[in-house]
Amino acid sequence: MRLRARELAILFGIGAAGGLVGDAGHVQAGTTTYLDDATPFVWESALWFPILVGLATASLGELRLRLGPPRPGFDARVGIAAIAAVLAIYAVTALVYDEPEGPATTLIVTLAALVACGLGGGAPALICGLAAAIAGPLAEIVIVELELAEYAPSADTLAGVALWLPALYFAFGYVAARLAELLVARR
Amino acid sequence: MRLRARELAILFGIGAAGGLVGDAGHVQAGTTTYLDDATPFVWESALWFPILVGLATASLGELRLRLGPPRPGFDARVGIAAIAAVLAIYAVTALVYDEPEGPATTLIVTLAALVACGLGGGAPALICGLAAAIAGPLAEIVIVELELAEYAPSADTLAGVALWLPALYFAFGYVAARLAELLVARR
Amino acid sequence: MRLRARELAILFGIGAAGGLVGDAGHVQAGTTTYLDDATPFVWESALWFPILVGLATASLGELRLRLGPPRPGFDARVGIAAIAAVLAIYAVTALVYDEPEGPATTLIVTLAALVACGLGGGAPALICGLAAAIAGPLAEIVIVELELAEYAPSADTLAGVALWLPALYFAFGYVAARLAELLVARR
């Protein structure tokens, strides 16, 4: 592992906490609904959801470091802004899920692009963003197929998940990559 | 006073004007309603509201300067962007007040964090933001208790005011601190 | 012409594509409705709409270069962010068109100001923004007068078009100016 155990734990914790906050927004707004009550719940989420997001965050951070040397320079403000940006987009998806799909998707895609342009990071960050944009929605499609959860009818046109979901995950992957860089720079 | 009379007047004017614009949004959207017509109204606001916001802006600016030397460098664009950012958040609160409280609050909190990270300013700015985040909602809770105004039922869970209100005031305090720095840098 | 044919074509293409995406959002949301089916349609737009936006983009880029020497430095991220920013505002207008006009307009105006402050560019960019803010809504007022299209009743108070339309065009003009600078810097 390129990331130390403590750094992986920090990424896991940030991802799990962020997943809980974002998912609570989706559940409260009605964007998504859990269909299976067999697992314990934490706040609004089935226990496995924050765990999966935490694991994905740590994995994307590790992926980032394997793709090339991280950028130097630690700045807590960049890390806070990166986390806030992806949580803001997450909250916007909860607020616009029942709006027409066209402008809602355009908004999420363009916000994700703004986050990526703001964070920079070149090809490694882009690969992390694309990996998240592919793997995340695929995982959620499986979750929907397993009837563990569902998206509202106004936001399920991408094989059962929302059309804007890849863009949300893209921003997530970009942010996870940046956080990994910051953790290494802080050593 | 660390700020000159003219600078305090400028901060008062910016705050009063911004308060009028933001409050008009709240009133037009139905986020807040004035219950008392005894005082004169300016646009959509009772006269005392923009006066209070103007005084708060000047006070926070003065507080900023007492907390340490201001950062040098005058850039009108930074000032315009700071004012625009807090007014944008103000407008978003008017537009999402009847949305589920969870994602609405997450959005306002994360936007406030992005403004703070964007403006920077270290501990003095943070103190101004926190002072505003505490004093502002407390003042509005008193206003609600006095039955001068009320928040809509969908946005009144924080002792009668909105859960996102401290975050809006936090951004306001940060921006007031930055404007005070810019005014000194312009001397 | 200060811009080369290929550069004008690039600006035309970006503008036409962006116009299609943004206009699709307006039509799908119900912000605007085409009243005349005489011309062919591309996606959700009458063919003349993306052509007009493309021509406006190229014209504003050319205007920018005639107003003074462009800033040096090519950065694809700035171009992508500029395009994403104006499309994001475009999408927001589609999502808030039926919200109270006050906060909706405040939001679009402040977002346009943030884009302008972020892109910079001084007087030439400001002139391009103002030129677009005047000419764009005027052209749309003519389109409404000709009964080719209409704005929803909740967004038609500016002589038949939306009150926030000048701010959207202002951001568009600023972005077109920046793209022209980037194209020259890339030579």
Locate the chain C residue with the closest alpha carbon to A108: C88
Query: With 0-12 CB in 10 A as exposed, 13-18 as middle and 19+ as buried, what is A147?
Result: exposed
* Global pTM value: 0.98
Return the pLDDT at A37.
85
Give chain A's contact residues with B (Cβ, < 8 Å). Answer: 21-22, 24-26, 28-30, 44, 77-78, 80-81, 84-85, 87-88, 90-92, 94-95
Tally A–B CB contacts below 8 A. Answer: 58
Element (H, E) at C48: helix C48-66
The alpha carbon of residue A171 is apart from the nearest alpha carbon of chain C, in Å, by: 14
pLDDT at residue C99 in the model: 97
Three-state DSSP string of B6-48: HHHHHHHHHHHHHHHHHHHHHHHHCCEEECCCCCCEECCEECH
Q: ipTM value of the model?
A: 0.98
Per CB-CB distance under 8 Å, the chain A contacts of C30 are 100
* Percent of chain C residues past pLDDT 70, beyond the cut: 100
Backbone angles phi, psi at A37, to 5 degrees: -105, 15
Pick among B97, B117, B170 to test the A interface (most A CBs inside 10 A): B117
Nearest CA in chain A to B121: A77
Q: How far is A26 from chain B (nearest CA, A)?
A: 8
Q: Kindly report the backbone phi and psi dihedral angles of residue A45, in degrees, each rounded to the nearest multiple of 5, phi listed first.
A: -105, 145
Q: Judging by beta carbons within 10 Å of its beta carbon (0-12, 13-18, 19+), is residue B130 exposed, middle or buried?
A: middle
Question: Cβ–Cβ of B114/A90 closer than 8 Å?
Answer: no
Residue C86, min C-alpha distance to chain A (Å)? 9
Give the chain C residue nearest A114 (alpha carbons): C81
Neighbours of C, requiring at least 3 CB pairs below 8 Å, are A, B
At B81-109, the pLDDT tens digits run 999 999 999 999 999 999 999 999 999 99
In eight-state DSSP terms, residue A71 is P
**Contact between chains at B104 and A81 (C-beta distance less than 8 A):** no
Residues of C in contact with B29 (CB under 8 A): 99-100, 102-103
List chain B pLDDT tens, one digit each, 187 residues.
Answer: 899 999 999 999 999 999 999 999 999 999 999 998 889 999 999 999 999 999 999 999 999 999 999 999 999 999 999 999 999 999 999 999 999 999 999 999 999 999 999 999 999 999 999 999 999 999 999 999 999 999 999 999 999 999 999 999 999 999 999 999 999 999 9
Give chain B's contact residues with A (Cβ, < 8 Å): 96, 99-104, 106-107, 109-111, 113-114, 117-118, 120
**CB-closest option in A29, A80, A81 to B103:** A29
Q: What local confidence, expressed as pLDDT, does residue C34 receive? A: 98
Res. C136 pLDDT band, cuts 50 70 90: very high
Mean per-residue pLDDT over chain C, rounded: 97
Residue of chain C whose Cα is closest to the Cα of B22:
C103
Cβ contact, residue pair A28, B101, below 8 Å: yes
Burial (Cβ within 10 Å: 0-12, 13-18, ≥19) of residue C43: exposed
How close is the nearest chain C Cα to the Cα of B17, in Å?
Answer: 13
Residue with tokens 């936090």: B170
- The count of other CB atoms within 10 Å of the CB of residue A123 is 9
Question: What pLDDT digit, counting tens, does each position of C8-29 carry?
Answer: 999 999 999 999 999 999 999 9
The minimal CB distance from A102 to the residues C24, C81, C92 is found for: C24
Q: By the 8 A CB rule, do C174 and C128 touch?
A: yes
Cβ–Cβ below 8 Å for B21 and C106: yes
Measured between alpha carbons, how far is B159 from B13 in angstroms, rounded to an integer? 30
Instruction: Count CB neighbours of C17 within 10 A.
Output: 16
Mark the ranges of chain A whose per-residue pLDDT is less than 70: none
Residues of B near C (CB-CB distance < 8 A)? Answer: 21-22, 24-26, 28-30, 44, 77-78, 80-81, 84-85, 87-88, 90-92, 94-95
Tokens 């996606």, residue? Answer: C43
Which chain A residue has its CA at the smallest distance from C91's CA? A103
